[in-house]
A and B are shown apart, each in its own frame.
Chain A
Amino acid sequence: MTTFLQILLNGLMLGGLFAIVSIGLTLIFGIIKVVNFAHGEFLMGGMFITWLITTQMGLHPYAAVIVVVPVLFVMGALTQRLLIQPLMSARDDHIQIFATVGLSTALINLALLIFGADIANTPPHGLRAPLEFGELRLLTGQVMIFGAAIVLVIGLELFLKYTQTGRAIRAVAQNRGAAELMGINVNHIYVLTFGLGAACVGLAAVLIAPLYPTSSNIGTYFVLTAFVVVVLGGLGSIPGAFLGALIIGEVDALSGYYIGSDLREAVVFGLFLLILILRPSGLFGARQNLSHLS
């Protein structure tokens, strides 16, 4: 029984981790309708900066948030302004996909050039210390990630619902032409949204760096699962991505223990294929294709 509870708890923590990585991805997709294949490399960049700040300045890894989140915001905003926006008038949407894939490859190679192929371990400063609840154990850093994911989801939802800028972001997603007629500068909203999405993954990077070794290909490792989470949650839905992440986290943990740790990914991606076939709009995203009606 303890083992089962421990696995459930591990799954929950893993879910929090997947959630915090996926939120920015689903935000960018939901508003700009661009799949950012460089999302994982943004994460990797943020983790390297966290590592640099922690090792070079001897600070607590969480202190890096002051630098990483703004840097990632600017990176995201520039990606939209300089790479995606010039391609937005292109008739073929696939060009944007190729552009972000290209950016992803470029960033991986840039990381190899600067940091080499070695693994960078961020000093954990106590974040890998276990918290014990009776016989159940969790890492402090995991609990922090889970809490941050919840705060981020609620914070973003409040921002999108109750601020004029947040409403403008939703308006652009629901009817771009009408948003322009309201006096909204649509291109500004896109730049802001891409920046926000990247800033979210910056926060994720700071929280993940003390728990996972950083390398140039770490982004691919996380972001593949993030795509599954985003599809499961209904493309573009932030609470959907959160719930989707918890489900994938549990599936990953349970299948890893009961089916075999080698087969976890097979189970997760098997589930991904099933969702695509049976419920392509995701578990929580039935409205996605109705936005043009009104």
Chain B
Amino acid sequence: MLTVENIHAGYGPTSILQDVSLDVKEGEIVTIVGANGAGKTTTLRTIAGLITPTSGRITFCGEDITRLRGDQVVDRGITLIPEGRQLFPDMTVRENLLMGAYRRAARDFQDERLEEVLDIFPRVRERLHQTASSLSGGEQQMVAIARGMMANPRLLMFDEPSLGLAPIIVSQVFEVVQQIAAKGTTVLIVEQNVYSTLKVAQRGYVLENGRVVISESAEDLLQDDYVRQAYLGI
């Protein structure tokens, strides 16, 4: 479904990704594991069209999307839920969710979609008419995920969805990721919570200094001595 081939990318003259290749098949949950600064966020942002790679190729459902702008990538059916939630602070929760359905394919069904999404997040439903900035961190993360789902994407990318959340909320986040995948949305997830992520994912890539160093099934990664030592602290 998504194929990333040999991309180099970065910010201005600073190159971060060196020859990164990965692929995601329809219906999978795939994770990218790596230390801070390894290039995980840059990889997601490059796929999302916010950074244009200096070389390499990204194809999605057979179409070359390497040089598309962010809004065009969203139109193709790829949505990124960014790190740090990034809500519209002065808008109500409902308005935030409606912004999620901005892309043309989602706009006509936004009311039905809103009901579906709110059924998954009853807590968000209670907060529907509050401004986003008045919510707690955990609630804001739920709104951010719900907003991403409103686009009804074919591929949903998560960047550190559990960052800064209480443990009980973290497990809720992982449950939601599984629910989303079970409903047929393909998921690409970057998480510092490596163990929990590998438990829900089918495959994983390990990224170090902007290069893919390991590519394995999630099960094998959990057993891999190097991964256990470097990322799981076992």
Q: Which residues of A contact B (CB under 8 A)?
A: 164, 167-168, 170-171, 174-175, 177-186, 287, 290-291, 293-294
B90 touches A168 (CB 8 A): no
A180 touches B102 (CB 8 A): no
A287 touches B74 (CB 8 A): no
Q: How far is the CA of A186 from the CA of B103 in the complex (A)?
A: 13
A167-B95, A168-B102, A290-B133 known; A181 and B88 CB under 8 Å?
no
- Which B residues lie within 8 Å of A185 (CB)? 69, 71
A181-B79, A181-B82 known; A294 and B89 CB under 8 Å?
yes
Q: Which of A171, A183, A186 contacts B91 (CB 8 A)?
A: A171
B69 touches A181 (CB 8 A): no
Question: How distant is A177 from chain B, measured CB to nearest CB, in Å?
Answer: 6
- Which A residues lie within 8 Å of B79 (CB)? 181
B88 touches A175 (CB 8 A): yes
Interface residues of B in 85-100 (CB under 8 A from A): 85-91, 95, 98-100
- Which A residues lie within 8 Å of B133 (CB)? 290, 293-294
Q: Which of B69, B82, B95, B107 contacts A177 (CB 8 A)?
A: B82
**Binding site secondary structure of chain A:** helix
Question: How distant is B139 from chain A, measured CB to nearest CB, in Å?
Answer: 12
Quick check: is B140 within 8 A (CB to CB) of the other chain? yes
A174 touches B88 (CB 8 A): yes
- Which B residues lie within 8 Å of A182 (CB)? 74, 99-100, 102-103, 147, 151
A184-B71, A290-B133, A294-B132 known; A164 and B86 CB under 8 Å?
no
B89 touches A175 (CB 8 A): yes
Question: How distant is A173 from chain B, measured CB to nearest CB, in Å?
Answer: 9
Q: How far is the CA of A75 from the CA of B90 in the complex (A)?
A: 30
- Which B residues lie within 8 Å of A164 (CB)? 98, 102, 107
Query: Can you name 9 A-B residue pairings with CB atoms under 8 Å?
Result: A167-B91, A174-B88, A174-B91, A177-B86, A178-B87, A181-B70, A182-B103, A293-B89, A294-B89
Pairs A-B, 4 closest by C-beta atoms: A183-B74, A183-B103, A178-B86, A294-B89
Closest to A287 in B: B90
Closest to A181 in B: B80
- Which B residues lie within 8 Å of A183 (CB)? 70-71, 74-75, 102-103, 151
Quick check: is B50 within 8 A (CB to CB) of the other chain? yes
Q: How far is the CA of A147 from the CA of B230 in the complex (A)?
A: 69
B87 touches A175 (CB 8 A): yes
Q: How far is the CA of A177 from the CA of B99 in the complex (A)?
A: 13
Quick check: is B48 within 8 A (CB to CB) of the other chain? yes
Q: How far is the CA of A192 from the CA of B51 in the complex (A)?
A: 24
Q: How far is the CA of A184 from the CA of B71 in the complex (A)?
A: 5
Question: How distant is B160 from chain A, measured CB to nearest CB, in Å?
Answer: 15
- Which B residues lie within 8 Å of A171 (CB)? 88, 91, 99
B71 touches A294 (CB 8 A): no
Question: How distant is B101 from chain A, measured CB to nearest CB, in Å?
Answer: 9
Q: Which of A167, A287, A293, A294 contacts B99 (CB 8 A)?
A: A167
- Which A residues lie within 8 Å of B87 (CB)? 175, 178, 294
- Which B residues lie within 8 Å of A293 (CB)? 89, 133
Q: Residue-by-residue, is B101-138 near A (CB-CB < 8 Å gives 1, otherwise 0)?
A: 01100010000000000000000000000001100000
- Which B residues lie within 8 Å of A175 (CB)? 86-89
- Which B residues lie within 8 Å of A174 (CB)? 88-91
